[in-house]
Amino acid sequence: MSGPAPSVIIAVDGPLASGKGTIARALSARFNIPYLDTGALYRAVAVAMIDQGALPENVEAAERAARALDVALIDEVRVRTAGAGVAASVVSAHTPVRAALLDVQRRFAAQPGGAILDGRDIGTVICPDADAKLFVTASEETRARRRQAELARRGEDMSFEQVLDQLRQRDARDAGRASAPMVKAEDAVELDTTEMSVSEAVCAAFTLVKARLDPARPCTPC
Ligand code: DC
């Protein structure tokens, strides 16, 4: 007699517009595992600070906003703007902010049904014992093109050069900070999506993750 599938944790890290969010959401649907976009938590803290008129550089205000965070904010459209992303990158470099958001991420990961989280430090700090870890990358130009198209779909028109410039600054800040910098976990599998369509990237991620999990685990096919 087969019981419920054992709960698994899947960590998906990578830089801005690498495809990690699309991949994580697709894996969540295929494996029927709840998904958390952890970048949205930092974005929500940044938006809460903007609402209060505080600058993202203000560490004390950022920590207060993180500790008082209303998680429902992560679903708001304004959390997805380019401005919220830049401010989130600044806010996320503050160690007290990362400490304040640690519990909510670990609790999500520990739920009985398992979890998929995407971000920058999931495989290294939040879930170092994850069952499967992906580090999703793509070239700067490809990521900037994707990001520009995503912003345009949301009604934010920015030039390619502006988007590329912001992306480089965010990569440098996210990878260069002292606290939980963006880095590939030693045991993560790297997936370069530069030359891949969305369905190819999802299929490649699915195959890599499946190889790390119990082959009998139920999922919808690729
Ligand atoms: O994935 P994103 O672009 O929505 O993330 C916004 C910012 O949040 C990103 O620039 C860095 C930060 N972040 C982080 O430091 N750690 C995470 N686990 C997720 C995001």
CA dist 54 and 177 (Å) reads 21
Q: Which of 42, 78, 143, 147 maximizes ligand 1 atoms within 8 Å of its Cβ, making it the mutation to test the pocket?
A: 42
- Contact 174 CB / ligand 1 (< 6 Å): yes
CA dist 132 and 52 (Å) reads 39
Provide the residue range defining the domain that includes 65.
Answer: 8-213
Query: Could you tell me if residue 219 is inside a domain?
Result: no
Within 13 Å and on the Cβ side, how many CA atoms surround 168? 7
Where do we find the tokens 């990569």? 171
Give me the pLDDT at residue 214, please. Answer: 74
Query: Could you tell me if residue 16 is inside a domain?
Result: yes
Q: How many distinct structural domains can be found in the chain? A: 1
Query: Could you tell me if residue 204 is inside a domain?
Result: yes
- Contact 132 CB / ligand 1 (< 6 Å): no
Give me the pLDDT at residue 35, please. Answer: 97
Give me the pLDDT at residue 216, please. Answer: 72
- Contact 20 CB / ligand 1 (< 6 Å): no
What are 5-22's pLDDT values in tens digits?
668 999 999 999 999 999
- Contact 114 CB / ligand 1 (< 6 Å): no
**CATH number for 90:** 3.40.50.300
Sign of the torsion angle spanned by Cα atoms 218, 184, 67, 69: negative
What are 42-91's pLDDT values in tens digits?
999 999 999 999 999 999 999 999 999 998 889 998 999 989 999 999 99
| 3-class DSSP string for the chain | CCCCCCCCEEEEECCCCCCHHHHHHHHHHHHCCCEEEHHHHHHHHHHHHHHHCCCCCCHHHHHHHHHCCCHHHHHCHHHHCHHHHHHHHHHCCCHHHHHHHHHHHHHHHCCCCCEEEEECCHHHHHCCCCCEEEEEECCHHHHHHHHHHHHHHCCCCCCHHHHHHHHHHHHHHHHHCCCCCCCCCCCCEEEECCCCCHHHHHHHHHHHHHHHCCCCCCCCCC
Query: Could you tell me if residue 196 is inside a domain?
Result: yes
Q: Kindly tell me if the per-residue pLDDT of 195 is higher than 70.
A: yes
Q: Are 22 and 198 in contact (CB under 8 A)?
A: yes
* Ligand 1: centre distance to CA 195 (Å): 24
What are the angstrom distances between the C-alpha of 124 and each of 14, 98, 159, 174, 182?
12, 13, 34, 14, 9
Q: Which band of pLDDT confidence, cut at 50, 70 and 90, is reported for residue 110?
A: very high
Query: Could you tell me if residue 23 is inside a domain?
Result: yes
- Contact 142 CB / ligand 1 (< 6 Å): no
- Contact 13 CB / ligand 1 (< 6 Å): no
Q: Which band of pLDDT confidence, cut at 50, 70 and 90, is reported for residue 2?
A: low
Query: Could you tell me if residue 220 is inside a domain?
Result: no
Give me the pLDDT at residue 4, please. Answer: 60
Query: Could you tell me if residue 13 is inside a domain?
Result: yes
Q: Which atom of ligand 1 is nearest to the CA of 170?
A: 10
Give me the pLDDT at residue 217, please. Answer: 73
* Ligand 1: centre distance to CA 186 (Å): 20
Q: Are 180 and 125 in contact (CB under 8 A)?
A: yes
Q: Which band of pLDDT confidence, cut at 50, 70 and 90, is reported for residue 177?
A: very high
Amino acid occupying residue 103 = D
Query: Could you tell me if residue 221 is inside a domain?
Result: no
pLDDT average, residue stretch 119-143: 98
- Contact 88 CB / ligand 1 (< 6 Å): yes
* Ligand 1: centre distance to CA 88 (Å): 7
Q: Which atom of ligand 1 is nearest to the CA of 174?
A: 11
Q: Which atom of ligand 1 is nearest to the CA of 121?
A: 18
pLDDT average, residue stretch 210-222: 77
Q: Which atom of ligand 1 is nearest to the CA of 92?
A: 15
pTM for this model (two decimals): 0.94
Average pLDDT, the chain: 94
Q: Work out the angle between the directed axes of helices 82-91 and 59-67 (0-180°, nearest 10).
A: 100
Nearest CA to ligand 1 atom 4: 39
CA dist 189 and 49 (Å) reads 35
Give me the pLDDT at residue 219, please. Answer: 72
